[in-house]
Structure 1
Amino acid sequence: MMESTFHGIIAFALLAGMLLLGSILRNRIGLFRNSLAPASMIGGMLGFTLLSFELIPGFKASDFETLTFHFFTLSFMSLCLTGKSKDASLSGGSVVRGGLWLTLIWTISLGLQGVIGYLVISGYDAMTGAGISEWLGAIVTHGFTQGPGQALTYGGIWEKEYGIENAAQVGLIYASLGFLVAFLVGVPMANNFIRRGLNANKASNIDEQFKSGFYNGAQVPSSGRMVSHPANLDSLAYHLGLLAVAYLITYVWLSFMQVQIKDFSAGGVNLSVLFSYNLFFLHGLAVCVVMRLVIDRCGLSHRVDDETLKRITGSSIDFMVVGTLMSIQFAVLYALLTPILLVTVTVTLVTLIGCLYFGRLSGALGPERAITAFGCCCGSTGTGLLLLRMMDADFSTSVPKELAFFNLAIIFTTFHILFFFAPIVPSLGGWNYLMVFAGTALFFLACIPLLMNFRASTTPSPLTRIKESCK
């Protein structure tokens, strides 16, 4: 009886073990240490390799998907329970404004990557006569900006309903390559920002402890304060209990709404998908925001330790990244390797240039937004958080909360694509497809000047700053 319960626990133990091995390899191997590769990436790649060669008996990639999903959810819910930073010098202004910058960058990238992928494959066909479906290029945007889950979802629909051969497998390849690109390009970019002193959180600096991945005994920082007396309840268990309450509320809410909105559609779109358990983290974010507001309004903020919540967020990200890599199966299609690499390189270059440019326009915390946006546009939201953590080690800036707002906002800016057009893309035809995706990118590109004006209108005038400084 008990034997059957061990499979999931051992899967979790394998994730933890790979993180431990990754941290040791980072500490001991100069290449990893100097490249600043995070332990989660090293451990994840090690786990992926062991699974690929079937060196972990009884386990396969799919065994880690559920754990990865819940650690992703937990990372953002704990982040939204965390209070606002008390260090005003680390704030980039309005969380909404910063979140809108991330939202516009990602939305523009979603449309532009799809157009680039479609056009690159079309050009490749014209030059070689290969006859590859352009939709195998278009699906790059779902692999890069959304990750393996959405790439599999849309690719599977295109394959089953519209006969686009290998769409799901190619989508997985793009997702895997996008994830690797996010680190191969993003880690050196973050490294460069830190060396130039462009990061706002100066706690993140490249010293020997940063490189080795471990603190020296005499320089270990505090990781939080005790809230509950250990004779009553351990403080970590107390904070996990807060998150458990948020989980339960979210689960009950989704279960209730699924019954109420079952089979309800508007404009041919089944709205019940908005209350799917796959979107648990989005509803969980809202629940945690409300919970934190109630806690603060009731004067109970002293009963919540933000540093402990940050440690839960950071740990969840580590488990999520290693789990994601161990969940991916590389289905290498040798016949399509050249066009896939062409699409990947082109999309990466355009995305990198766009993130750097728009990050600079966003003002304070521009480097943090650029690196975070690049991670999100090439891997996943979790990848963006991991790259951000290199520049903002303890999540003290406002960018992590901007990222939480971003995850809600993109539902509205890309609703027409993700919930209506994406599943039926092959039926649109080339010109209609380009109009929808390019039109989306151009529309939100035109919104950039409006956001810059919003930035200017919310920036205090020099006279105002002088008056405030004299008070």
Structure 2
Amino acid sequence: MEITLNGYYTLIFATLVLLLGRFMIKNIKVLEDFNIPEPVVGGLVAAMIVYALNIVWGYSFNFHQGLQTATMLMFFASIGLSADFGRLKAGGTPLLIFLAVVSVFIVLQDVVGVGMASALGLDPLLGLVTGSISLTGGHGTAGAWGVVLEEEYGVVGATTLGIAVATYGLVAGGIVGGPVARRLIKNLGLTPTPDNPNPSNVEKVAGAQSLYSTKHDEDGDHRQEEMFEKPDNIRLITASSMIETLALFAAALAFADIMTIVAEGTWFQLPTFVWALAAGVIIRNALTMVFNFDMFDRAIDVIGNASLSLFLAMALLSLKLWQLTDLAGPVLIILLVQTLVMILYAYFVTFKIMGKDYDAAVLSAGHCGFGMGATPTAIANMQAVTDRYLPSPKAFLIVPMVGAFFVDIINATVLQIFTKIPF
């Protein structure tokens, strides 16, 4: 029996899923320790209930797709509207180098995913799902690309698999980041002395502290640490600022809709959510650089976080878990290999290219966090390291900007190239 729910009931169930996730995280410590998002926790429980109803009584639920699509586009537009390229100056050369390191790893992650999938007899496009779509991209990107792969490429179960892989990545990224950094720091000869650091330790991070203080003052705000990695922070918003911000979102979504139609069948055909992200980037930087417009970032943050949570809740409600039964074994093998690749890359590439010093070790822990999971995982990894050893302002300046904003732009570009390759 199929039960179709309209937009009202879809929204009601989505908010109930979010409340359930919040309740579980507050009462189950391991979920909080690994920074598992509220919609993922509540959504997976809801998906299991829907699965049980299907197996026992044959019920199947269809939720309102238009609302889910709208929230997805709003989320990606918020990423674009937050990606102020002027902030690249705050990170300087180290940020650009780290962006290059991350970009190469995204390509490597997809090469490994596609190669392993082909070797195990799976659709190569499922390799992208077990690659940067879900791991570097996280749940939002997994849900968005899952829909594209299912509808345009006929990849069955791509959304369900993407959500599952992204959840694995959050846990794995939180597990491997700390040990990688501690091993590197041990090789540097630093000891855990947070209360009484020795002079040599202080000297090694003094340069980074100075850089951070200067650049942070020039930037004039701390919002790169507050967007998607701190969604519960209180932000003061007025009705007029919210209306202005909604107008920006409307412009981004309208641009995305028009470009999707115009580009259909051409060489620059892109998924609608990629156009939404690109539109946000164009609008943001055109207004700030050309017209010196003062963007109201707090409203963008709130709309972006709320849209992401609602989108994930609805995506998880729509999961069909029975589609994954035949993929469990091969996918687990691919994910274990991806985890090993992340560890080796962070240890031998990220650390060395970023300077082979204490800051580079902390950056390696952060890279494990969002290379496998998400920016909150990266922040948690770095906090665990700096709480035990020394502060690393340089790492806390670079990772949030790369992980929360710029990596999604790079990932979307890389994935668009990979999907055009005839496997």
Deviations 1:364-388 (A, max 9, x none): 544323311222xxxxxxxx24434
Q: Which residue of 1 aligns with 2:51?
A: 52
8 A contact 2:21–2:42 mirrored in 1? yes
The question of whether the paired residues in 1 share the 8 Å contact of 2:180 and 2:364 is answered with: no
Matching of residues 417-456 of structure 1 within 5 Å:
417-419=418-420, 421=421, 424-425=422-423
Q: Deviations over 1:92-115 (max 9, x none)?
A: 756544333322211121112211
Residues 23-172 of structure 1 correspond to what in structure 2 (within 5 A)? Answer: 23-54=22-53, 59-60=61-62, 63=65, 65-66=68-69, 68-80=71-83, 84=87, 91=91, 93=93, 95-119=95-119, 121=120, 134-136=121-123, 139-146=126-133, 147=142, 149-151=144-146, 153-154=148-149, 168-169=156-157, 171-172=158-159
Structure 2 CA distance for partners of 1:40 and 1:154, relative to 1, 3 Å: closer
Q: CA RMSD in A?
A: 4.4
For residues 377-410 of structure 1, what are the alpha-carbon distances to aligned partners after superposition, in whole Å with 9 as ceiling and x for unaligned? xxxxxxx2443464689x9734344343333334
Which consecutive unaligned segments of at least 5 residues does structure 2 have? 134-141, 183-191, 195-204, 213-229, 384-394
Q: Does residue 408 of structure 1 match 2:398?
A: no
Contact 2:109 2:131 in 1 (8 A): no
Greater C-alpha radius of gyration: 1
Which digits, 9 at most, give the CA deviation of each residue in 1:302-333, with x for residues without a partner?
xx554454444444443344344334322345
Change (3 A) 1:252 1:308: closer
C-alpha distance after superposition, 1:434-468 (max 9, x if no partner): xxxxxxxxxxxxxxxxxxxxxxxxxxxxxxxxxxx
Q: How many residue pairs end up in the alignment?
A: 345
Give the 3 Å change call, closer, same or farther, for CA 74–14 of structure 1 in structure 2.
Answer: farther
Q: Distance in 1 between matches of 2:365 and 2:242?
A: 32
Contact 2:174 2:378 in 1 (8 A): no
Once the two structures are TM-superposed, the CA of residue 178 in structure 1 deviates from its matched residue by 1.2
1:367 matched residue in structure 2: 365
1:248 aligns with 2:250: yes
| In 2, Cα distance between equivalents of 1:388 and 1:239 | 31
Letter of the 2:156 counterpart: A
Sort the Cα spacing of 1:326 and 1:371 in 2 relative to 1 into closer, same or farther, 3 A: same
- Alignment-derived partner of residue 282 in structure 1: 277
1:49-77 alpha-carbon deviations (Å, 9 max, x no partner): 2332349x995366474255235324414
Distance in 2 between the 1:67 and 1:183 partners?
25
Of 171, 176, 181, the residue aligned with 1:184 is 171
Name the TM-score, length of structure 2 as normaliser.
0.64
Please list the CA deviations of residues 93-143 of structure 1 after superposition, one character each: whole Å capped at 9, or x if unmatched: 565443333222111211122112323x2xxxxxxxxxxxx2446622234
Residue 11 of structure 1 corresponds to: 10
Q: What is the CA-CA distance between 1:245 and the residue it aligns to?
A: 2.3
Equivalent residue letter for 1:181: Y
Q: 1:326 & 1:356 partners in 2: Cα distance?
A: 38
Cα distance change on mapping 1:362 and 1:396 into 2, 3 Å? same
**Runs of 5+ in structure 1 lacking a partner?**
1-5, 122-133, 160-166, 202-214, 216-220, 226-234, 264-269, 376-383, 426-471
- The 1:74/1:176 distance shift into structure 2, 3 A limit, reads same
Structure 1 letter corresponding to 2:313? V
Q: Aligned in 2, Cα 1:49/1:149: closer, same or farther, shift over 3 Å? A: same
| Shift in CA distance, 96/31, structure 1 to aligned 2, threshold 3 Å | closer
Spell out, residue by residue over 1:203-255, the C-alpha distance to the aligned partner (whole angstroms, 9 max, x if none). Answer: xxxxxxxxxxxx9xxxxx97345xxxxxxxxx343343333222333344345
